[in-house]
Chains A and B, each alone.
Chain A
């Protein structure tokens, strides 16, 4: 399993792997936001936490179809299906690799982008923490969506349509933590719920993803 993780990481960092694409997309979303809502810094600072969460979510979405599609095309997924590790393990590793190459860089970059959007100083810590806790759920749910659509020729748009409604709870609680943190309000409840959703998805969803992969390989 470690070998699989290393291989996936190496593949995504290599040219054409899509590493950095998500970050660039995130930066573009953040740059375009003031053009859309105006340069008023008070407005920007109230919506900063939400925009950063939405931007991170959309950037995450961008690279989802790469999680499984390449392995499906070149047959590596079928090899993995016959390998001694269970498919649930493969799904978990794939999600972990996706998080390490997308969710983690986004989390680390978010405070820097927060400066661009005039995020209040108190908000930085909680934005980073909420993203760190929330993005694993995005990767795991995304892996499930990728597993559902892996057999399709042009699954990208469909993948977004399926995955985005599933992102609703994570987005709500994540953005709530970030916003309350920025406004200095109590944020323990959404934080606990956000962590609960992440833990539950990490624990349970790989089973659904594995089932979907098996169906697609049949």
Chain B
């Protein structure tokens, strides 16, 4: 990776694996430092130096992990969709590998959002779990992540796996959106009166706003950091398999 490469003239040149490795290697320490700073400051600020909510008591502190993880969980899928489209249209291997790298991170974030939501819901609504549309959508999203990762793991040929998972990701995105609206409809149809309004963002006051923003930045940074690390792993693994295949040929 040490040879000098000419300066890139277009964003697409980062799709060249060698260029990607050089650039991501350069970027990695900065992302890591920023992530650690934002996460530590945001979480410490949120956990130690914000007042309790008058209604929710100290459970309001869960917001600093619940909302960011939920946001990353959704946007990770969005990123996978974009990466899959790029792979299908422009055939950049790094793009497909980045989509593969994002899936476990997204799934973990979904799990965190579900777990913290359940822990928060227990004292607030008196139940760990309700079939509220938003909760249910996250569960369905988690299932989508599982299916996507299972398909990647099952197919041996790298390129076939990249293509098929991209197709699945695109079709899955459409169905995920459909499911979301179906669930909203379904719940309204079931229990009209019982509304568990989850619109936490609306009643966030200024005291909670800045630490929450920092935590959001921290979680996004954590996501980017892991994507970079995992994509680099995938690029190396791919190169290794290519080399081994070439050696078997000769």
Which residue numbers of A lie inside 8 Å of B, CB to CB?
144, 148-149, 151-152, 155, 158, 161-162, 164-166, 168-169, 172-173, 176, 180, 189-190, 193, 197, 205, 208, 211-212, 215-216, 218
Residues in chain B near residue A152, CB distance under 8 A:
154-155
Q: Given the complex of chains A and B, what is the CA–CA distance between A144 and B168 in angstroms?
A: 9
Residues in chain B near residue A218, CB distance under 8 A:
160
Residues in chain B near residue A197, CB distance under 8 A:
178
Whether A165 pairs with B151 at a CB distance below 8 angstroms is: no
Whether A148 pairs with B167 at a CB distance below 8 angstroms is: yes
Residues in chain B near residue A215, CB distance under 8 A:
160, 163-164, 167
List, sorted by A's number, 23 A–B pairs whose CB atoms are closer than 8 Å. Answer: A144-B171, A148-B164, A149-B151, A151-B155, A158-B150, A162-B150, A162-B168, A165-B140, A165-B172, A165-B176, A166-B175, A168-B183, A169-B175, A172-B185, A173-B182, A176-B186, A190-B185, A193-B185, A197-B178, A212-B167, A215-B164, A216-B160, A216-B164
Q: Please, how many residues of chain B have a CB less than 8 angstroms from a CB on the other chain?
A: 27
Minimal beta-carbon separation of B175 from chain A (angstroms): 5
Residues in chain A near residue B118, CB distance under 8 A:
none
Main secondary structure of the interface of B (DSSP, over half): helix
Q: Given the complex of chains A and B, what is the CA–CA distance between A172 and B185 in angstroms?
A: 9
Whether B160 pairs with A165 at a CB distance below 8 angstroms is: no
Minimal beta-carbon separation of A89 from chain B (angstroms): 18
Residues A148 and B182 in contact in the complex (CB < 8 Å), given A205-B171, A215-B163: no
Residues in chain A near residue B147, CB distance under 8 A:
158, 161-162, 165
Whether B175 pairs with A165 at a CB distance below 8 angstroms is: yes
Residues in chain B near residue A166, CB distance under 8 A:
171-172, 175
Whether B150 pairs with A169 at a CB distance below 8 angstroms is: no
Whether B143 pairs with A164 at a CB distance below 8 angstroms is: yes
Residues in chain B near residue A155, CB distance under 8 A:
154
Binary CB contact string for chain B from 161 to 189 against chain A (1 if under 8 A, 0 otherwise) = 00110011011100110110111011001
Q: Which of B155, B167, B168, B186 contacts A172 (CB 8 A)?
A: B186
Residues in chain A near residue B179, CB distance under 8 A:
165, 168-169, 172
A168, A180, A215 — most chain B CB neighbours (10 Å): A168
Minimal beta-carbon separation of A141 from chain B (angstroms): 8
- B144 is an interface residue with CB less than 8 A from chain A: yes
Q: Given the complex of chains A and B, what is the CA–CA distance between A43 and B103 in angstroms?
A: 41
Residues in chain B near residue A164, CB distance under 8 A:
143
Whether A168 pairs with B140 at a CB distance below 8 angstroms is: yes
Q: Given the complex of chains A and B, what is the CA–CA distance between A155 and B175 in angstroms?
A: 21
Q: Given the complex of chains A and B, what is the CA–CA distance between A189 and B181 in angstroms?
A: 13
Whether B151 pairs with A158 at a CB distance below 8 angstroms is: yes
- B207 is an interface residue with CB less than 8 A from chain A: no
Q: Which B residues, 185 to 204, have Cβ-Cβ distances below 8 Å to chain A?
A: 185-186, 189
Whether A148 pairs with B175 at a CB distance below 8 angstroms is: no
Q: Given the complex of chains A and B, what is the CA–CA distance between A192 and B184 in angstroms?
A: 16
Q: Given the complex of chains A and B, what is the CA–CA distance between A13 and B157 in angstroms?
A: 35
Residues A169 and B178 in contact in the complex (CB < 8 Å), given A151-B160, A164-B143, A212-B167: yes
Whether A190 pairs with B167 at a CB distance below 8 angstroms is: no
Minimal beta-carbon separation of A194 from chain B (angstroms): 10
- B62 is an interface residue with CB less than 8 A from chain A: no
Q: Given the complex of chains A and B, what is the CA–CA distance between A190 and B187 in angstroms?
A: 12
Given contacts A162-B147, A168-B178, 11 further A-B contacts (CB under 8 A): A148-B151, A149-B154, A151-B160, A162-B151, A165-B172, A165-B176, A168-B140, A168-B179, A189-B185, A190-B189, A193-B185
Q: Given the complex of chains A and B, what is the CA–CA distance between A147 and B144 in angstroms?
A: 17
Minimal beta-carbon separation of A140 from chain B (angstroms): 11
Whether B154 pairs with A158 at a CB distance below 8 angstroms is: yes
- B33 is an interface residue with CB less than 8 A from chain A: no
A162 to chain B: closest residue by CB: B147
Residues in chain A near residue B242, CB distance under 8 A:
none
Q: Given the complex of chains A and B, what is the CA–CA distance between A162 and B176 in angstroms?
A: 12
Residues A208 and B140 in contact in the complex (CB < 8 Å), given A168-B179, A169-B179, A218-B160: no
